[in-house]
Structures are given as C-alpha cells and as structure tokens.
C-alpha cells in the first residue's frame, strides 16, 4: 500500500550537502585523504573539565528527568555569565534549558507563530530556521540580503517586506553562513522597528564567543523583550551533548514551560550537570585559546581564497565560515562542490543549503580544520581550479 506522508514533511528540504558528505565519506572509506570543510562542527573535542563533570554526574546518578526548564544551578550559572560578559542583569527564571539550540528554536516558533503567519529571515541563512517555521504551520518570508547590508536584516528591509501576516523577525549574530554581526546600535534599531509593528524580535546568538577583533553584543543589552536562542555547541564545544537555552520575557515563561513539558520533557540531565563546568576559569581559558585558533584559521583562509579568485565581499567577524561567490569560475555551486570532492577530495557546502538568493553562485567553507590542513586544502583547490569547467560533471 502506498504511504501517505504529510505535506509538512514533504515541504521540508533535505540538506544538499549530505549527498556530498556521503560521497566524501565513500572516498575516505576507500582510502583517500578527504579534507572536510563542509560541516559546521568544531574539530576540538569537548574540553576536559566538562567531560570530567559529565562523568561525575553519571557516577552521582544524575540520569533522571529534570524540571522542564532545566536545573536551577545551570540557569543561575547562565545568568551570572550574562552579567559578567554583557553587563545584563537577568533573572534565571527567564532561562529555559533546551535540547540543543534547535530545542530553543522549536519553543520560540511554537509560541510565537500561528498557522499562516511568518517571520522575516535573511536569505542566505541557516536552513533549519525556515524548516522549523514550516513545522509549526507558519512560514519564513525570505528577504534577499547581500554585502551592502553585510547579509543582515535592517529596519529598511523590515519596512519593505513586512505585511499583514508578519509577526516577527529572526536574525543571527554572528550569522551562518556569512559570519557577520549585528552591532549594538543595529540590534537596537531592529528592535525598535519590530516594536513599532507589534512584532517579536528573535535573535540567534549561537556563535557568541566566537568573534574576532570585536565582541558580539547581546540583544538583551538593548531590548529586554527579545527572545534569545543560544547553544553550548559552538563556543563551549559540546555539540554531541545536545544542550542549548532560550531567554524569554518573564510573561512568556509559563507558556514555554508548558510547551517544553509536552515536546521533550527536559534536556539531557547529565549534559546539564556537565555544562556547569563551562563557567570555571579553567574552562573559559580553554575556550578563549580555541577562539584565538579559529581567528588564526580565518586570517589564513580568507586572503588565500580571495587570491584564488573567490569573491568574499564582507570580512566575517564571527563564527567559523566563509561565504564565497564563485561567479568568476562559472557553473553552479553544487557541480562546483562535486568537482572538488571527486578530483581533489576537498569538501565544502553549496549555497543551495542556505536559501535561494544567488544560492547557485555561492559556497560555504567551514574553517574547522587546522591551519596545516587548510593550507593543504588551498593547494588542492588551486590545482582543481585548473581542471574545472562549468560542464565538467
């Protein structure tokens, strides 16, 4: 009997990079040396103090459900972190601990978006954002952005694209795939623009901590009513632990807690206890050393790719990505990526995964490998460009 699946499921697109990753893994299994620049996961293992705290939590029997909002100790530690890093006085009751940043996005979308309503999102942007909106029967109104706005939404763009079904905007700072920031005055201007229209501002701050030459401002410094998505995956290096958080206005917390109870009960208990070790001086020193290493990688790869002919119009200030225009080479991004996997065994991501606006002319490089490996990648890319043609594959 033919299976009938939901229109919701059919509307959610797969990651195009997964087909390329599968091929890269096939080549690697066959003995080829593949350089992976396609996946947004740091190459560092979770810091030793966090691992030790996780092991201690397991030994102590912290394996049961926690409260839906998370353990009080972690929410209090996060409130202290906001005070120390941003100068923000934050009531721990406003923080909900979630299964990854994805759990925070699921809560925010479920709370704020009715069927048929939408958020404004920058295009290019992280694909799961628009897919989560579809999951709750809402939609993403993709706003084409480019170097002129550093790939970010502006109040002018909000004014131009806002309509009767708009209920908010989701922005990311630093952003995936472009690595650009919204600075404090820009966040304040966006917040004011949304308030004028009765809309919500939701800010993805998942790459906070990974900034180079500047500090990222939290939207909470300028708008106490904003919703903040964050994660322990990137700066804190806990990708596989699946732990994130959501900061919300106090009047939203009871509704969000109810949603959390129904959607996932609680975030992983052992991960929550392990994360308490993130805020010690020892752990923070490790994270800062890793941040400096990411900056070293960016400072090598950015000029190296530009010298090869990739157009990277805006220097990224955060995250660990370079979003590059390949128009000078011709052809489409997916074929371009496939060429380099097959011929040079270097994997990077086609722009199709990040939206629609000029997506076929862009690729994303993740500098989540050592400088030595990045140097090897650049050598291979330079060689591969000599054999590339738009109809090569």
The domain boundary, picked from 258, 279, 300, lies at 279
For the cut 70, the answer to whether the pLDDT of residue 287 exceeds it is yes
CA distances from 191 to 166, 187, 199 (A): 15, 6, 9
pLDDT tens profile 179-198: 999 999 999 999 999 999 99
**What is the total count of domains within the chain?**
2
Euclidean distance between CA atoms 47 and 131, whole angstroms: 32
The domain boundary, picked from 256, 279, 302, lies at 279
Q: Which of 282, 209, 272 is nearest to 242 (CA)?
A: 272
Residues 6+ apart with CB under 8 A from 258: none
For the cut 70, the answer to whether the pLDDT of residue 62 exceeds it is yes
pLDDT tens profile 218-276: 999 999 999 999 999 999 999 999 999 999 999 999 999 999 999 999 999 999 999 99
For the cut 90, the answer to whether the pLDDT of residue 297 exceeds it is yes
pLDDT tens profile 344-372: 999 999 999 999 999 999 999 999 999 99
Whether residues 179 and 201 share a domain: the answer is yes
Range of the domain at 295: 7-45+283-387
Quick check: 345 and 34 in contact, CB under 8 A?
yes
pLDDT tens profile 75-89: 999 999 999 999 999
The domain boundary, picked from 279, 311, 336, lies at 279
314 band by pLDDT with thresholds 50, 70 and 90: very high
Q: pTM of this prediction? A: 0.96
Whether residues 262 and 129 share a domain: the answer is yes
pLDDT at 20: 83
16 band by pLDDT with thresholds 50, 70 and 90: confident
- Write down the H helix ranges in the chain: 7-11, 17-29, 48-59, 72-86, 100-112, 127-135, 155-161, 184-196, 253-263, 269-275, 281-308, 333-344, 371-387
């Amino acid at each position: 009997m033919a299976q009938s699946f939901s229109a919701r499921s059919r509307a959610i697109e797969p990651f195009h990079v997964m087909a390329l990753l599968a091929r890269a893994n096939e080549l690697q299994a066959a003995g080829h040396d593949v350089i992976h620049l396609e996946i947004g996961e740091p190459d560092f293992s979770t810091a030793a103090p966090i691992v030790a705290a996780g092991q201690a939590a397991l030994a102590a029997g912290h394996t049961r459900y926690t409260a839906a909002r998370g353990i009080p100790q972690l929410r209090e530690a996060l409130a202290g972190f906001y005070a120390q890093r941003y100068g923000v006085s934050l009531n721990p009751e406003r923080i909900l601990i979630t299964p990854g940043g994805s759990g925070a996005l699921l809560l925010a979308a479920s709370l704020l978006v009715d069927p048929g309503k939408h958020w404004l999102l920058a295009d290019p942007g992280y694909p799961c954002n628009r897919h989560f909106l579809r999951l709750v029967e809402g939609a993403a109104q993709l706003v084409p952005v480019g170097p002129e706005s550093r790939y970010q939404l502006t109040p002018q763009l909000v004014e131009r694209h806002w309509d009767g079904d708009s209920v908010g905007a989701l922005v990311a700072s630093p952003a995936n795939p472009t690595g650009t920031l919204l600075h404090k005055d820009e966040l304040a201007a966006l917040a004011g623009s949304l308030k004028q229209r009765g809309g919500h501002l939701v800010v993805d701050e998942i790459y906070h901590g990974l900034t180079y030459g500047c500090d990222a401002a939290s939207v909470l410094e300028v708008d106490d009513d904003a919703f903040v998505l964050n994660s322990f995956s990137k700066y804190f290096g806990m990708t596989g632990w699946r732990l994130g958080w959501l900061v919300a206005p106090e009047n939203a917390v009871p509704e969000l807690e109810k949603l959390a109870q129904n959607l996932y009960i609680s975030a992983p208990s052992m991960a929550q206890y392990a994360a308490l070790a993130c805020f010690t001086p020892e752990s923070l020193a490790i994270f800062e050393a890793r941040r400096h290493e990411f900056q070293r990688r960016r400072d090598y790869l950015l000029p190296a790719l530009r010298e090869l002919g990739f157009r990277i119009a805006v220097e990224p200030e955060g995250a660990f990505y370079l979003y590059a225009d390949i128009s000078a080479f011709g052809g489409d991004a997916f074929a371009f990526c496939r060429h380099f996997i097959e011929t040079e065994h270097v994997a990077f991501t086609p722009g199709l995964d990040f939206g629609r606006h000029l997506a076929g002319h862009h690729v994303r490089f993740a500098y989540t490998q050592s400088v030595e490996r990045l140097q090897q990648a650049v050598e291979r890319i330079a060689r591969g460009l000599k054999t590339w043609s738009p109809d090569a594959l």
